[in-house]
Amino acid sequence: MPSYNSIKYREISDGQYTVTIDLQNFQNKIDLYKFKIKLKELSNDCADDISGIYELDGNKLVYKSETLFPMEGCGNNPKVLIVFGNPAFHSVKHGMFFFSKANNHRHGMWGKLQKANLIRPVRFSDDNLFLARKKEAEERKKLISAGKNDITKALNGGSKLKLIPGLVKNIISEEENSDYDRGHFKSFGDFSLNFEFVYHVLSSDYTTYMDTQHNINMKIFDKFKEEGIEFAYPTQLVYMNKADSEVNDKTAVI
């Protein structure tokens, strides 16, 4: 392998670098010869068009590299470093790990990272699957560069977290057939921040109950969207009903 001194980086823009490796610094000529043969075989055998990924200028190998660290910072929010290796050629060419499956469908890794709440959901639809994946890759880069992919950033370092009890209380209190009881930041989930709000529906009529629940949920969803507060995914609603009560007593855990 070439020595460290044979590798040079040149920043061409924010997070974008040109890397030059001087292959003459291989330990011996046999290794250099084998490397060039392997590189040629790789280019010939690869199903993807890898032109533009690298350039071999004499004994100098030149390629572009990119950092996906948050360039704008994350404030006081916890930072998560995810390290991937050996990306597919089409992922390198289009500048995003797990750019797509071979058939241009969305790579399953994004769903796993989304369930772990390490990234926000990013989904685009297009008759041209490649264009949809390209739009998604560009959006993910923007989110990563702005440090807006983790749940704590979405809640603005805690300032918006403090708004939630009041926002939800107002929504429930303003609903005609509901009687607000209490609301608390109940617990830390594995991938979520859990609140519990309790209110009574002032009717034993099931349709009235469902209408009230529908209105409250819709208003919470709209208000959170307006305030830039995101739900953890997947979101679970758990209802507990006192069957022997004349008034439906519902607890909604969000």
Using CA atoms, how far apart are residues 149 and 115, in angstroms rounded to an integer? 12
Instruction: Provide mean pLDDT across the span 108-137.
Output: 81
CA distances from 157 to 122, 154, 164 (A): 22, 8, 14
pTM of the model: 0.45
Q: What pLDDT does 11 receive? A: 77
Beta-carbon count within 10 A of 221 CB:
11
Instruction: Provide mean pLDDT across the span 18-22.
Output: 86
Structure tokens at 198: 């309790």
Q: What is the amino acid identity at position 116?
A: A
Residue 2, pLDDT above cutoff 60: no
Tell me which residue of 135, 189, 157, 11 sits closest to 79, measured CA to CA.
157
Q: What pLDDT does 151 receive? A: 46
% residues pLDDT > 90 (the chain): 17
For 201, the enclosing helix (H) or strand (E) is strand 193-201
- Chain mean pLDDT for the chain: 75
Residue 36, pLDDT above cutoff 70: yes
Structure tokens at 201: 């529906």
DSSP string, 72-112: T--TTS--------S--HHHHHTTSTT---TTSPPPHHHHH
Residue 218, pLDDT above cutoff 50: yes
Q: What pLDDT does 217 receive? A: 94
Beta-carbon count within 10 A of 139 CB:
14
The residue ranking higher by pLDDT, 40 or 176, is 176
pLDDT winner (highest mean) among 135-149, 198-212, 237-251: 198-212
Q: How confident is the model at residue 121 (pLDDT cuts 50, 70, 90)?
A: confident
Q: What pLDDT does 47 receive? A: 60
Q: How confident is the model at residue 224 (pLDDT cuts 50, 70, 90)?
A: confident
Q: What pLDDT does 237 receive? A: 47
Q: What is the amino acid identity at position 94?
A: H
β 60-66/54-57 pair status = antiparallel
Q: How confident is the model at residue 248 (pLDDT cuts 50, 70, 90)?
A: very low
Using CA atoms, how far apart are residues 217 and 2, in angstroms rounded to an integer? 61
Residue 88, pLDDT above cutoff 70: yes
Instruction: Provide mean pLDDT across the span 114-135.
Output: 81
Say which residues have a Cβ less than 8 Å from residue 227's Cβ, sequence separation at least 6.
Answer: 160, 163, 167
Q: What pLDDT does 200 receive? A: 93
**What's the angle, vertex CA 17, arms to CA 34 and CA 50, rounded to 5?**
50
Q: How confident is the model at residue 53 (pLDDT cuts 50, 70, 90)?
A: confident
